[in-house]
Amino acid sequence: MVTEISKEAAIAACEQVRAENRRRYLSAGHWQCWGCMKFGGDPEKRCMHTADGWGGCALINRRLSL
């Protein structure tokens, strides 16, 4: 089950997670964020957006404790 959050909260949490993972080249989080931005780019196409709404990716959900 996906807990829906607002689009603005999802984008803000995504920016924070990406900023934390930006220089951690050997972490799985860095590569997850890199792939999400590389192949998604637009917030509507990123991992945080699903058919059910704005649920957040695993990193965002961990940050928001969902």
pLDDT single digits (tens) 21-65: 888 888 888 888 888 888 888 888 888 877 777 877 888 888 877
Note the pTM of the prediction, 2 decimals: 0.76
36 closest CA partner among 6, 53, 60: 60
Task: Evaluate whether residue 1 is within a structural domain.
Answer: no
CA 40 from chain center: how many Å? 11
Q: Does 50 map to a domain? A: yes
**Is residue 1 predicted with pLDDT exceeding 70?**
no
Give how many domains the chain has, as a whole number: 1
Residue 2 lies in a domain: no
Specify if 43 maps to a domain. yes
Q: Is the pLDDT of residue 17 over 70?
A: yes
Confidence of residue 66 (pLDDT cuts 50, 70, 90): low
Residue 17 within any structural domain of the chain: yes
The domain of 17 spans: 7-64
Strands of 10-56, DSSP E: 49-50, 53-54
